[in-house]
Amino acid sequence: MDEKLKYKKSTYHLYTFLMSKMIGSLGSNVYAFGISMYILSLTGSSLSFAANILLSIIPRTIISPIAGIIGDRVPRKWLVIGGQAGVVLTVSVMLIYTWVEGLSLVAIYLATLFNSIFSSFSSVAFSASIANLVDEERLQKAMSFNQLSYSVSGIGGPVFGGMLFGFVSMEIFLLVFIIAETIALLLESTMNFTLHKKPKEATASEQKETMFESFKAGFVYLKQKPVVRAILWTALWLNLFFTCLNVGGNYILLTILHLDPKLIGVVEAGAAIGMLIASIYFATRSNLKFPLVVVKRSTLLMSILVILTAVPLLFTFSNMTIFIYYLVIMFLSGGLGVITNTPIGVIMQTSIDEEYKGRVFGIVEMMAMSMMPIGTLVFGILYDIVPAQYILIVSGTILVFIVLILLRRSVIEMAHPELKNNKKLNVLEEVEG
């Protein structure tokens, strides 16, 4: 294909990708808000609410590696479109059932289960295909657009959902979700998922591999990629220990510090605003010269922020000072999350061979998702028996050591050989151009 035409198609993919992700994520957030409020208003039980969350996490943890294996064997566009279509079909059936029988908790749980399964295939296949959709020079922009879509929907979803809830029926929430996902499906169906794919013929042994052998081959491949492996382990531990904020954030603000619930909502929005600003920054700047250096710095700063979260628990501040302090903390956390995730996405897309991308991204999602229920359980118990400030200080300190060990200088030099023996480009002193 002519390079000029490829560039035009890449540009189309870039902005179609942004629109499909933004519309789909916005619809998902509105739907999630409506369903959450409905479960709590129907049952008044946090256990029923937690059960719905687990039904969205556990299937993805199990299915993601399977989706990755299949994504390395069949055209990924089929999985993306099929997964999206499955989600639309599931909620459409739920909508029809609601019209006929009325919405029930069992119907919500079943819809959550099937949505989780279908979205696993779509998510893993799409993540593994980004480098095939856009040229390498604009991978960073594509990854920042992905973060941008989540930040916009993270702000707009709860706001729009809050405006709808109490004024419209649950059928409207379901309909909004169906329309949004259908638009995302139609946009993604116009994209060429092999535009920048490097062709490779499968060997006879690869074609005869069982699912288990293929899954095992993904782990064997990761052993040969020390930089990717270091990033994966860092992300794994970050997901585990950052759960201390997800579990304890509102508990600390509401129960311990007695902050006004309205102000807590603003504090939570601070993270989405930080994500939005950082995403726009990455979308408008040139590619990072040393992305892993940026990842190390941002993860260290995020770890320090966990420790700093404990400060108002150690000293006495006014309510307004507490509000401003945590608003700044959340804003910085959201921004640093994008500064961490965007370079990681670029490194993963450029470092992993095409024939292993599905399996590696499936393993990544499996490991990331598995940490959420474990962290939720562990920190949920700890907050009942250990003062919150000690949990935050210890978790943040452990994270600092994890980052320093896993992203040590030798790993940085493997990712960026030009830094080796170059004092002017010392990892701790190098300034991104």
In a domain, 103, yes or no: yes
72 and 163 in a common domain: yes
pLDDT digit string (tens) for 141-176? 888 887 777 777 767 776 677 677 667 788 888 898
Q: In this model, does residue 139 exceed pLDDT 50? A: yes
The predicted pLDDT at position 433 comes to 40
Owning domain of residue 366 = 211-433
Spatial separation of the C-alpha atoms in residues 102 and 146, rounded to whole Å: 36
Q: Specify the higher pLDDT residue, 115 or 350.
A: 115
238 and 184 in a common domain: no
Domain endpoint, select from 158, 191, 224: 191
Beta pairing partners, 168: 165
Task: Indicate the average pLDDT of the chain.
Answer: 83
The predicted pLDDT at position 311 comes to 94
In a domain, 202, yes or no: no
Q: Specify the higher pLDDT residue, 342 or 248.
A: 342
The predicted pLDDT at position 92 comes to 93
Which secondary structure element, helix H or strand E, spans residue 207, and what is its range?
helix 204-208
Residue 165: strand, helix, or coil: strand
The predicted pLDDT at position 421 comes to 64
181 and 145 in a common domain: yes
Task: Provide the token pair at 330.
Answer: 């959340």
Average the pLDDT over 19-40 and give the result. Answer: 81
In a domain, 200, yes or no: no
Q: In this model, does residue 427 exceed pLDDT 70? A: no
In a domain, 199, yes or no: no
The predicted pLDDT at position 430 comes to 43
278 and 161 in a common domain: no
373 and 300 in a common domain: yes
Where does residue 417 rank: exposed (0-12), middle (13-18), buried (19+ CB within 10 A)? exposed
Would you tell me how many other CB atoms lie within 10 Å of the CB of residue 196?
A: 21
Q: What is the CATH number of the domain that holds 73?
A: 1.20.1250.20
Q: Specify the higher pLDDT residue, 419 or 320.
A: 320
In a domain, 314, yes or no: yes
Give me the DSSP letters along 344-360: HHHHHHHHS-GGGHHHH
Which secondary structure element, helix H or strand E, spans residue 61, and what is its range?
helix 46-71
Q: In this model, does residue 432 exceed pLDDT 60? A: no
174 and 267 in a common domain: no
In a domain, 205, yes or no: no
pLDDT digit string (tens) for 368-418? 777 777 887 788 788 888 898 999 999 999 999 999 999 988 888 888 887
Q: In this model, does residue 344 exceed pLDDT 60? A: yes
User: Which distant-in-sequence residues (6+ apart) come within 8 Å of 89 by Cβ?
Assistant: none
Q: Do the Cβ atoms of 106 and 41 come closer than 8 Å?
A: no
Q: Do the Cβ atoms of 208 and 342 come closer than 8 Å?
A: no
- Number of domains observed in the structure of the chain: 2
Alpha carbon 348 to its chain centroid, in Å, reads 14
178 and 144 in a common domain: yes
Domain endpoint, select from 163, 191, 219: 191
174 and 41 in a common domain: yes
367 and 426 in a common domain: yes
The predicted pLDDT at position 149 comes to 78
Grade residue 342 by pLDDT with cuts at 50, 70 and 90.
confident
Grade residue 45 by pLDDT with cuts at 50, 70 and 90.
low
Average the pLDDT over 358-375 and give the result. Answer: 80
428 and 349 in a common domain: yes
231 and 153 in a common domain: no
418 and 315 in a common domain: yes
Spatial separation of the C-alpha atoms in residues 429 and 335, rounded to whole Å: 21
